[in-house]
Amino acid sequence: MLHLRVIAPADLRDDVIEVLRGEVGVANLLLHPGAALEPEGDEITADIARECANDLIRRLKDLDVQHRGAITLEILDTVLSTRAHRAEDRAEGDPADAVVWDELIGRTREESTLSVTFVLFLTLACLLTAIGVVTDSTVTVVGAMVLGPEFGPLAALSVALVQRRLNLARRAALALVVGFPIAMGITALATASAEAVGWLTPDSVANVHEVDFIFKVGPLSFVVALLAGAAGMLSLVSARATGLVGVFISVYTVTAAGFAVVAATVGQWDVAAKSALQLVVNLVGIVIAGVLVLVLRPKGRWVPHSAKA
């Protein structure tokens, strides 16, 4: 279940309570008159079933609560309440299948923000890939896959397409369009330096055997990207982070970018082109899979809300 907290001005108190009382999936409704100081108003809390969260939030937004006060949601790991369990049973649908759109949008927005940390993780992943190529080490390449943060913006793009959130799409696209060139540029400088001191030669790329799967593009590359993207989106909507690890070590996004840089730096343009194609195939496949999961999964009581809400 979710814990809902609403801060609303006094003139909206009765309307908010009416909305909450009219929902079968609401339990443990509390009112704290005048508890909020900034913004001034009442604090109203309740435990709600995930299945009814979208409809409930939409109705609260129709009251303009999000602008005149605040609406916050918190995931409850343990609830010992017969009333809450009955409310969850009465709500239509299954909690595991319920996508709380505002929660998902908030998570993907945070994970798709272009920041110094995002660029650093992306750069470190590309550099690890470069080392994995030089040493022909699968373990190092897998470590780069896990370290790469690129799934966040890709998931955000999927959510933005389904919910028609232009601002979220711009934020995610900015993170990818700016982040990858910076990470690849730094990796190119590091690769050129390694070549200058003799640590790297064209043969280092031409004779790899353990990590050559990165630039071997075929129909299965797209299938893997689709399956991994679907698993990743399911992990996000069900809040099962363990599934994301499997996604990170199943796709060749950041590793393909790193391999393309290394190959291009030493003049192996054929390998560089194949790695770049692998990067594009995985980026597109993950986004398509994310969209399909969000569109085709059970929707329960989902009621679409306007992008302006």
DSSP output for 9-75: -GGGHHHHHHHHHT-TTEEEEEEEEEEEETTEEEEEEEEE-GGGHHHHHHHHHHTTHHHHSEEEEEE
Residue 115 shares a structural domain with residue 85 = no
Residue 241: other Cβ atoms inside 10 A:
9
CB 87 within 8 A of CB 24: yes
CB 2 within 8 A of CB 23: no
Question: Can you give the pTM of this predicted structure?
Answer: 0.80
Residue 306 lies in a domain: no
Domain that residue 67 falls in? 2-93
Residue 99 lies in a domain: no
Residue 7: phi, psi to the nearest 5?
A: -110, 120
List per-residue pLDDT tens for the chain, 309 residues long.
899 999 999 999 999 999 999 888 999 999 999 999 988 999 999 999 988 888 899 999 999 999 999 999 998 888 888 988 888 888 877 776 677 888 888 888 888 889 999 999 999 999 999 898 888 888 888 888 888 889 889 999 999 999 999 999 999 999 999 999 999 999 999 999 988 887 777 777 777 778 878 888 888 889 988 998 888 888 888 755 554 555 565 577 888 999 999 999 888 899 899 999 999 999 999 999 999 999 887 654 444 444 434
Secondary structure element (H or E) that encloses residue 6, with its range: strand 2-8
What is the full DSSP assignment across 155-202? HHHHHHHHHT-HHHHHHHHHHHHHHHHHHHHHHHHHHHHHHHTTS--H
Structural domains of the chain, count: 2
Residue 134 shares a structural domain with residue 78 = no
Distance CA 276, CA 255 (A): 10
Q: In sequence order, which residues have a C-beta less than 8 Å from that of residue 149 and are 6 or more positions away?
A: 111, 118, 121, 122, 125
Residue 305 lies in a domain: no
Distance CA 254, CA 123 (A): 9
Residue 86 shares a structural domain with residue 122 = no
Residue 64 shares a structural domain with residue 135 = no
Residue 236 lies in a domain: yes
Residue 57 shares a structural domain with residue 110 = no
Structural domain ending residue among the three candidates 30, 60, 93: 93
Q: What CATH number is given to the structural domain containing 37?
A: 3.30.70.120
Residue 268 shares a structural domain with residue 144 = yes
Residue 63 shares a structural domain with residue 113 = no
Residue 109 shares a structural domain with residue 190 = yes
Residue 184 shares a structural domain with residue 74 = no
Residue 307 lies in a domain: no
Burial of residue 198 (CB within 10 Å: 0-12, 13-18, 19+) is: exposed
